[in-house]
Amino acid sequence: MHKILLISLFSAAGFNVFAQKTGKKPLDHSVYDTWQAVSNQNITNDGKWVVYVVKPQQGDANMVLTTAQNTGKIIVPRADTARFTNDSKYAVFLIRPFYAATRMARIKKKKPDEMPKDTLGLITLGSTVITKVPGVRSFKIAEKAPVIAYLAPSDTVKKPVAADTSRRAVATTIAPPTREGADLTLKQLVSGKQRTFKFVSEYQLSKDGKMMVYAVTAPRRSKEAQSGVYVYDVEKDLVKPISSGRGTYRNLVFDETGKQLAFVAEKNPERAPVKPFKLYYYTLGKDSATAIAGPAMAGITPQWAVSGDGRVYFSKSGSNLFFGTAPIPKPADTTLVDFETAKLDIWNYKDEYLQPQQLKTLQRDLRRSYLAVIHPAETDKKVIQLANKYIENISQPMGNDSRYVLATTDTGTRVQAQWEGGGNQEAYLVDTKTGERKKIIPRTKARFQFSTGGKYVIWFDAKDQNYYSYSMETGKKVNLTKATGVKLGEEDNDVPDDANAYGIAGWTADDKNVLIYDRYDIWSIDPATGIAKNFTDGAGRKNHLIFRYPMPGGGRFAALSGGSGDDEDKYISTKKPLWLLTQNEDNKQWGYYKQAFGSSNAPEKIISAPYSYGILQKAKNADVYIYTKQSFDKSPDLYVSADLKKEVKLSAINPQQLQYNWLTAELVEWTTPKGYKSKGILYKPEDFDPTKKYPMLVYFYEKVSETLYGYQSPAPTPSRLPITYFTSNGYLVFTPDISYEIGHPGPSAVEFVNSGVEALKKNAWVDGKHIGIQGQSWGGYQVAYLITQTDMYAAAWAGAPVANMTSAYGGIRWESGVNRQFQYEKTQSRIGATLWDKPELYMENSPIFQFPKVHTPVAVMSNDADGAVPWYQGIEMFTALRRLGKPVWLLQYNDEAHNLVQRRNRKDITIREAQFFDHFLKGAPMPVWMDKGVPAVDKGKDWGLALSDGNK
């Protein structure tokens, strides 16, 4: 019944729309599931093959394998997680179960072991034959060889099936796995040789693919295999046991050469109250692995042991072996009776972290380990403890072979983080040979990091807004950025805290130079002397161009390198010009420029266009790049190019967009009453007619104009305004930028939002009597405040708003367990003072004290599992306006977060939001949930989405 109702609403939702000059239909709520996106793209090391996945929002994806010229295209239904081998000859991927099969299994409440399983797919590039292995749990590829290993329950491992690329499903019976391990198969892709091992629980390949280590957890009295750890020599096809006995084996790891390996294991009796781990070490040719670290062994802290949860890894040279240690946990008291034992949380003012935060991090803390190192080749294998309970955080330079590690701690300043948002840090160097610690920087508001090669420690001092370096060789501290003469912290910072730095691009070889960002340009600075050169020749500031260099791990500015992440990829190359991702701050266009080291000229423009460009992903051994490109009217498709001027379009997603009335986007500018210049985006329907009047919706947060050329995919919303849906259905949508005056965030929203709306109302095609506003979280707060200051809005929608800063100030952000005071004193809420020092500011900026002035109908979303804004804030808003007789509705999604997570709820709120604004801005009939409500006795039976017959 509910499903039929939703379908009818999907079909009818767009009935009240403007005439379509283009003949295109408006979007409705039925289109979301099939709208596609490109993901998981990758390119072979030789640059000749590309793989990517086209995913609908809900349903079965397709993996596309094609040449860089977009020929020889193969489509593999439901495939994902594709990897190329290092030799650029093979692709390995997982084929997911049919969405319908997984959905039905969930409907039938199948156990995890009974759910449909993945299938492994293998293909030789250039071939059309796919080899499939059903029921695979996981797979790994040797980093530098065409060798793979995969794990699958024994009941599903059959002879691999050669299959074509049709949509025919592979028939297989998936049996529940046993408590013991599964079947591990190693396959050499060139020769086709393979071997299978029984009851494997953990496994790892050496980088060169010549060795494999695996752990066996076999049933008792098994005749097929014995529990323990084994090494398999792939070339010789020989298996050697190196550790035996039942137990738990974890973190199997090879060194760089594949000649050393280590793992942690516990072989304690099954009924032992505690089961501490030991660290085992093995070198090829030895008889067996040896325990080299464990309880009461050399260097291990008394009552501590090796952690089974800590990462284990070798340094690049293999001379250092790092692992985690932790206190041996206390055994559980089995004499306690649960129903006779008190259950409570005890808060103490001396605690470094509040109890809610401790409870949030409890599982992580129970698994916390502290980094230690051992030198396995030395005769005296003594453990050197690098971290401890006082100094938990350790960082290392590339290769992990440095004599020293960098240790930082905020211990002792964590209580004040409650109101400051973060503690000041101390920095130490810890000797990996002796464990001795040397404090190099006293407590400072900074974040410390190593240079890539480990010759310097670098940090940004938030107080004086400069970068500093510390030489590991000389111990000299140098101000790196004083000579630049520009701000390195955010110039437009508008929160009551020290400005954040723009960041570091990376280091050149041998740590000779560090590249640091200002607002626009990039500086190349000698870390030993502080001598600085504007790498982009000042062209950024002069032309309002924001230059950024994508380095590994930098999010949008991530690696311009493909392959395995070799050490040379971690340095910025000075041998070739750098590709700089660039945005024009004035017109918001994106593009790429190139700049060479040693050049005295401004960067060379390669491309700048009304698009948003993704990162360039480079083929490791060829100057070929893949990247996405999008605009407000063009889906983010995948392209391949050598120079970005001559490009090949690989994907063509969402052709159905041409059937629908889409949107256009333009940058608008205005001057606020106080004389501030501001920008925003105005979205119009594709069939916009300047002779007509259009209702307008205003959506805001802080600053959004930089997203002008971003694609707005039709999708059910987690909280924000679904812009594409509304423009397609005859609305204008305006998204203004807002700057803030410290202590007056509410009036600042009035200053920027209202003035922007007033500027647009001067256009004859804006229906000034039918304007609505929508915001979520901080935007929801601003909606709540704006409707107390003006009657210009015909309807308002506030998601997760704070209505009362005085009651929200001391609350808890339950998703993290931290207190909310810092938010008002230092960050987004921008009051800049305590509640008791400036109570008048908290009251001035709290909408609840001015609710009697509200005349705007308002809908509030406030969910009972909100971990960011206390959900009672929405209740305060609703109950206050309800008492005042104002038209107000509250949507409380059960067990939902700050932003809706469950797709069913996202679909629901998208329908309700459209109904709400259609009623107040277009005169559409009221739905039942707004007109008459939905009583609790009808919950789960009637959603109130039907249009009420009591309204015209």
504 φ, ψ (degrees, to nearest 5): -115, 135
Q: How far is C-alpha 448 from the chain's CA centre?
A: 22
pLDDT recorded at residue 180: 67
CA gap 66, 75 in Å, rounded: 9
- What value does the mean pLDDT take over residues 690-699? 98
pLDDT recorded at residue 725: 98
User: Measured at the alpha carbon of residue 667, what is the angle toward residues 665 and 672, in degrees to the nearest 5?
Assistant: 135
Q: How confident is the model at residue 939 (pLDDT cuts 50, 70, 90)?
A: very high
- What value does the mean pLDDT take over residues 20-27? 78
pLDDT recorded at residue 380: 85
Q: How confident is the model at residue 563 (pLDDT cuts 50, 70, 90)?
A: very low
pLDDT recorded at residue 589: 98
pLDDT recorded at residue 3: 38
Q: Give residues with Cβ within 8 angstroms of 838, minimum separation 6.
A: 743, 831, 832
Weakest mean pLDDT among 136-145, 419-428, 432-441: 419-428
pLDDT recorded at residue 22: 59
pLDDT recorded at residue 337: 87
pLDDT recorded at residue 269: 86
CA gap 331, 273 in Å, rounded: 5
Residue type, 196: T
Instruction: Say if residue 637's pLDDT is above 90.
Output: yes
pLDDT recorded at residue 335: 86
pLDDT digit string, tens, across residues 313-325: 999 999 999 999 9
Report the chain's mean pLDDT, rounded to a whole number.
Answer: 91
Q: How confident is the model at residue 663 (pLDDT cuts 50, 70, 90)?
A: very high
pTM score of the predicted model = 0.92
* 162 compared with 412, residue with greater pLDDT: 412
Instruction: Say if residue 952's pLDDT is above 50.
Output: no
* 474 compared with 220, residue with greater pLDDT: 474
Listed residue (595, 461, 606) closest to 533, CA to CA: 595
CA gap 321, 375 in Å, rounded: 6
pLDDT digit string, tens, across residues 538-558: 999 999 999 999 853 333 333
CA gap 407, 395 in Å, rounded: 7
CA gap 855, 608 in Å, rounded: 47
Q: Provide, rounded to the nearest whole percent, the portion of the chain with pLDDT above 90.
A: 86
CA gap 816, 422 in Å, rounded: 14
* 333 compared with 436, residue with greater pLDDT: 436
* 82 compared with 18, residue with greater pLDDT: 82
Cβ atoms of 686 and 22 within 8 Å: the answer is yes
* 950 compared with 96, residue with greater pLDDT: 96
DSSP 517-586: E-SS-EEEE-TTT--EEETTTTHHHHHTEEEE---TT-GGG--S--TT--GGGGSBPSSSPEEEEEEETT
Listed residue (502, 464, 463) closest to 482, CA to CA: 464
Listed residue (187, 116, 131, 184) closest to 154, CA to CA: 184
Instruction: Say if residue 385's pLDDT is above 50.
Output: yes
Residue type, 350: K
Q: Provide, rounded to the nearest whole percent, the portion of the chain with pLDDT above 70.
A: 93
Element (H, E) at 778: helix 778-786
- For the stretch 383-387, contacts whose Cβ atoms lie closer than 8 Å and that sit 24 or more positions apart, written own/partner, are 383/293, 383/297, 383/298, 383/299, 383/300, 383/325, 384/299, 384/431, 384/432, 384/433, 384/434, 384/435, 385/299, 385/301, 385/325, 385/435, 386/430, 386/432, 386/435
Residue type, 228: G
Weakest mean pLDDT among 287-301, 492-506, 555-569: 555-569
pLDDT recorded at residue 21: 53
- What value does the mean pLDDT take over residues 220-228? 88
